[in-house]
Structure 1
Amino acid sequence: MNCFALTALAASALFSAQAAQPNIIIIFNDDQGYQDLGCYGSPDIRTPRVDELASEGMRFTDFYVGSPVCSASRAALLTGCYPYRVGVSGVFWPNRDHGLPPEETTLAEMLKKAGYATAAVGKWHLGDELRFLPTRQGFDTYFGIPYSNDMYPAEHMRYAPDCLWREGQNFQTLETAFAHKKRGQPRTLKNKVPLMRNEECIEFPCDQTTITRRYADESLRFISESVESGKPFFLYLANSMPHIPLFASPDFKGKSAGGLYGDVIEEIDFNTGRILDRLKMLGIEDDTIVIFSSDNGPWLTVGDAGGHADPLFEGKFTSFEGGQRVPFIIRWPGTVPAGTTCSGMAATIDLFPTLAALTGAELPEKKLDGVDLSSLWKNPHAISPRSTFFYEHNAVRSGNWKYHRKEIFKVKKTKRANTGPTLYNLKDDVGEAQNVIADHPEVAERLSKMLDAHIQYAPRPRK
């Protein structure tokens, strides 16, 4: 046995003896469709390691994100609140001086206060100004792309002295690009994004063909260092893909029956497996909560590059099920029963209070919109503490009933004559195909009033 392994085993033994708090890993993919995992029915994308994770834990069928777009969805996950209630209602762009308000308490800040080492790896997308960066929002370290991988660097981006310049880029080319920008966007820099470490760019443009592997490499380093330190850890791994543009390394490109999109998912699956293997090698898999999910539904309008939400209707940008119902898997050996499926309603806003309850962390004074799901994690047949969910200001689900005030479509061929109000019974009609509002007007009226009350409680922030 080599020295590293001996050190890791000794550190693991010390950690297990001292820590009563579980480690936490949240893997949050970008624009991955509900169907695009083997354990969720994908016919052509192979995901053996994530399927293994599901077989060792619990797979949710009715799990929701706080928004059908990137920034708002991430704000909901990290604050336990509907995103518009914390000032985030859409997508953040570079050079706009906006982000998740620093006065909001993030999941990382709560866990750090409870003694956790914290790291953000991957896509951030909650503001690129200094005061909005992960290192100012509770994370000890950050390594990743600060926004979507189809964007461009901000003019105020700080570059490390030893920044790796690629593709002929340098300070002069950036200056020229910004001098000729239109509507704030330097067209020649589209899809050229910075790779940051903490608060500086260390590579521009980022080599996205290797980024999925490098995110995993960074995660493995953080896990091992945390174990050696004897501290519980929180890793937020937000993969930049399968958001377009899609990139895969040579080891995975052209290998999936699901095309380039499938290549990307299968590479994410492989690197998820590397993380799971490291937990096992360090002897901490029983002490670690692993969560695997997506920030919103698939970007269907980009065709084969956008994934699949079947059997759900529509996708990203909409309040249909395909826009906000996502895959969600959790493994915690000895606490979460293995090989189980849960059909109880749950959401990313629930992770904040649930993890607080399981770690003993102190909740912020601000009222949260999430509920403690720990009873559901321990028993998939328990009644979910969540009975209602609001799809931004457009729709509401109560029990099996879902009411749309107005239906918004993004894929033209799916548009229907009746755009709302509409009512669906999701138990019998998960594809939202049969509008039954004429048969149940009293249900529609009740849900409409619930939506009115929610809009008053959580109005959209002013632009």
Structure 2
Amino acid sequence: MLLRSVLRRAILLSETNTVMAKNFVIIYADDLGFGDLACYGASGIPTPNLDRMAAEGLRFTNSYATAATCTPSRYSLLTGSYPWRNPGAKILAGDAPMIITEDEPTLPRILARAGYRSAVVGKWHIGLGEGAIDWNADIRPTPLDVGFDESFIMAATNDRVPCVYVDGRRVANLDPSDPLEVRYAKENPFSEVPTGRTHPELLTTWHSDSQHWDAIVNGVGRIGFCRGGKSAQWDDETMAEVFLERAKGFISRSKEQPFFLYYALHQPHVPRIPSPRFRGATALGPRGDVIAELDWCVGQLLEHLRAEGLDEDTLVIFSSDNGPILDDGYADQARELCGCHRPSGPLRGGKYSVFDGGARVPMILRAPGLAPAGQESAALFSHADLPTSLAVLAGIAPEQAACVDGVDMSAVLTGQDEVGRESLVTEGIGARTVLRHGTWIYIPPHPGPARFADKDTESGFSPEPQLYDLTTDIGQRENLASYCPARVQSLAEELAAIQADTHHAYPHS
């Protein structure tokens, strides 16, 4: 143990005395809100493992995904580029092409310069292939073509077809005699295959909108149509354990060299189908149960790091791709059973929204010897900063780790900088942008309804500019735009300048 400690301290100091880390793990939840964890004030859902992680690390209160929806925020997490710079960075279908270009910097590509081995396990949703995908042959490009050495993923989301795991370049467990076909269309192209629209009696989970009644997989209506590939279809109830075991396996195989693991959880995205062991774990119904399951997954992964003797050498970050949503397509009583639980905490809005609850998310960092334990950081931080910041902590020079919009916030991650960014940009659905500058939030005029009727949630869209001071109005209830026209103009000009700066942006067709 003494030798391990001495070696670790040697690794943590470069020639310039910059604090460094050996391994990195990003655990990324799906649709988890600012107020969903006990360590962020929740009382209805037990999250002991994440609470312990917070007690042993840094808990951030001003951490932002770049978007209030999944594909855009995940694109930024890996590339360090704001999603609105890439027209393809929108909520993708399950058969959409890859939106990361061949020469675009990504976190695994940058870390490879320092000898890191990288893997992604879990939700991908950044596209596969270059067009029409043959799911029965090798798929190119996949995560293996954007810097990852190992990849075990779902192509998109658990409510979209194909409902299969993609292991490297191939669909796992696929029977060649039962080829898989996938289509996204208005009408079912496979007339002999029943759907939720035509055969609702086959559904065991009922939909609450007009999207989730296409292909039926495991009694659940999904978005999109498919035929064949029965042997490859996943089991929703075992998905958490399947992804967890693959993540643990990568850690065990890679422990002799620096590694980066992107562990992309599927919880609490719909359909919310927990393992039987977590069914009824909370009084909040399936949504609460899958968050309890999520917490267990985090605990199991942290325990595996300890068992492998790596917990002292590994920087672990937990966060979410966007804010919460209760009704996102299935009638699972998330709203009815929510009670006093507030998924967004004190924030207004959630998934899809331009209000702060859409992109402001929990973030916890555990890094023994690098970051202080049991402390809170109010530093302003964007997930687009993670590629450059982690690369610097790996000993890579900042100029070699540069991304389009992400900046070096390594001092924030180690608790040395309590301020962070001066400003950052987020977006609601449809690339509707928002600027946060200091404690001010500026929302430009955006067309669209004030509420999403089918989701029963606020969009935040308004034909008038919106200005909020989070110092006195964290819930964004008082629009100060008409009282502060000079500030509105200044922030509008700042946002326009950021959007006009394409000098270093990567072209996307």
| TM-score normalised by structure 1 residue count | 0.85
Query: Is contact 1:15–1:231 with CA below 8 Å preserved after alignment?
Result: no
The answer on 1:402 being equivalent to 2:402 is no
The corresponding residue for 2:158 is 149
Query: Is contact 2:388–2:403 with CA below 8 Å preserved after alignment?
Result: no
CA offsets, 1:251-278, max 9 Å, x none? 1011212211111011111121111112
Report the alpha carbon displacement of residue 172 of structure 1 after superposing the two structures with TM: 7.8
Report the alpha carbon displacement of residue 81 of structure 1 after superposing the two structures with TM: 1.3
Distance 1:220 1:15 in 2: 24
Distance 1:319 1:74 in 2: 17
Distance 1:374 1:417 in 2: 34
Distance 1:274 1:324 in 2: 27
Distance 1:276 1:364 in 2: 30
> 1 or 2, which has the higher helix percentage?
1
Residues 462 and 103 (structure 1), Cα distance of their counterparts in 2 relative to 1, 3 Å cut:
closer
Residues 290 and 98 (structure 1), Cα distance of their counterparts in 2 relative to 1, 3 Å cut:
closer
Which deviates the most, 292-301 or 60-69? 292-301
Distance 1:90 1:222 in 2: 30
Report the alpha carbon displacement of residue 106 of structure 1 after superposing the two structures with TM: 1.1
Q: Secondary structure at the match of 2:301?
A: helix
Residues 380 and 203 (structure 1), Cα distance of their counterparts in 2 relative to 1, 3 Å cut:
farther
Distance 1:357 1:172 in 2: 43
Residues 13 and 118 (structure 1), Cα distance of their counterparts in 2 relative to 1, 3 Å cut:
farther
The corresponding residue for 1:354 is 389
The corresponding residue for 1:214 is 242
Which runs of 5 or more structure 1 residues have no equivalent in the other structure? 1-8, 194-200
The corresponding residue for 1:4 is none
Distance 1:48 1:289 in 2: 19
Give the percent of matched residue pairs that are identical in Structure 1 and Structure 2: 33
Distance 2:65 2:152 in 1: 24
Report the alpha carbon displacement of residue 379 of structure 1 after superposing the two structures with TM: 2.8
Query: Is contact 1:24–1:233 with CA below 8 Å preserved after alignment?
Result: yes
Which deviates the most, 57-66 or 401-410? 401-410
Query: Is contact 1:69–1:316 with CA below 8 Å preserved after alignment?
Result: yes
Residues 341 and 421 (structure 1), Cα distance of their counterparts in 2 relative to 1, 3 Å cut:
same
The corresponding residue for 1:374 is 410
Residues 170 and 164 (structure 1), Cα distance of their counterparts in 2 relative to 1, 3 Å cut:
closer
Residues 125 and 273 (structure 1), Cα distance of their counterparts in 2 relative to 1, 3 Å cut:
same
The answer on 1:187 being equivalent to 2:214 is yes
| TM-score normalised by structure 2 residue count | 0.78
The count of corresponding residues between Structure 1 and Structure 2 is 440
Distance 1:173 1:211 in 2: 22
Query: Is contact 1:152–1:189 with CA below 8 Å preserved after alignment?
Result: no
Report the alpha carbon displacement of residue 312 of structure 1 after superposing the two structures with TM: 0.8
CA offsets, 1:131-186, max 9 Å, x none? 3311111111111211111111299x976585379xxx94388799654499x999
The corresponding residue for 1:197 is none
Distance 2:315 2:31 in 1: 23
Report the alpha carbon displacement of residue 406 of structure 1 after superposing the two structures with TM: 2.3
The corresponding residue for 1:5 is none
Residues 423 and 14 (structure 1), Cα distance of their counterparts in 2 relative to 1, 3 Å cut:
closer
Report the alpha carbon displacement of residue 31 of structure 1 after superposing the two structures with TM: 0.8
CA offsets, 1:330-373, max 9 Å, x none? 01011110000011110101111111111023555865311222
Give the aligned residue type for 1:205. Answer: Q
Distance 1:144 1:203 in 2: 17
Report the alpha carbon displacement of residue 457 of structure 1 after superposing the two structures with TM: 2.4
* Aligned ranges 1:264-283 → 2 under 5 Å: 264-283=290-309
* Aligned ranges 1:362-441 → 2 under 5 Å: 367-379=403-415, 382-384=418-420, 386-392=421-427, 393-406=432-445, 409-411=450-452, 414=458, 419-441=463-485
Which runs of 5 or more structure 2 residues have no equivalent in the other structure? 13-20, 130-138, 196-210, 223-228, 336-341
Q: Secondary structure at the match of 1:187?
A: coil
Give the aligned residue type for 1:74. Answer: R
Give the aligned residue type for 1:344. Answer: A
Which deviates the most, 57-66 or 173-182? 173-182
Distance 1:186 1:43 in 2: 34
Residues 356 and 308 (structure 1), Cα distance of their counterparts in 2 relative to 1, 3 Å cut:
same
Give the aligned residue type for 2:361. Answer: V
* Aligned ranges 1:31-180 → 2 under 5 Å: 31-129=31-129, 130-153=139-162, 162-163=173-174, 170-171=178-179, 178-180=189-191
Query: Is contact 1:86–1:104 with CA below 8 Å preserved after alignment?
Result: no
The corresponding residue for 1:442 is 486
Distance 1:460 1:356 in 2: 20
Q: Secondary structure at the match of 1:395?
A: strand
Distance 2:239 2:463 in 1: 41
Residues 425 and 55 (structure 1), Cα distance of their counterparts in 2 relative to 1, 3 Å cut:
same
Residues 253 and 149 (structure 1), Cα distance of their counterparts in 2 relative to 1, 3 Å cut:
same
Query: Is contact 1:342–1:380 with CA below 8 Å preserved after alignment?
Result: no
Residues 410 and 304 (structure 1), Cα distance of their counterparts in 2 relative to 1, 3 Å cut:
farther
Residues 152 and 271 (structure 1), Cα distance of their counterparts in 2 relative to 1, 3 Å cut:
same
The answer on 1:292 being equivalent to 2:318 is yes
Query: Is contact 2:388–2:402 with CA below 8 Å preserved after alignment?
Result: no
Distance 2:238 2:42 in 1: 25
Query: Is contact 1:105–1:364 with CA below 8 Å preserved after alignment?
Result: no
Distance 1:132 1:292 in 2: 27
Query: Is contact 1:38–1:51 with CA below 8 Å preserved after alignment?
Result: yes
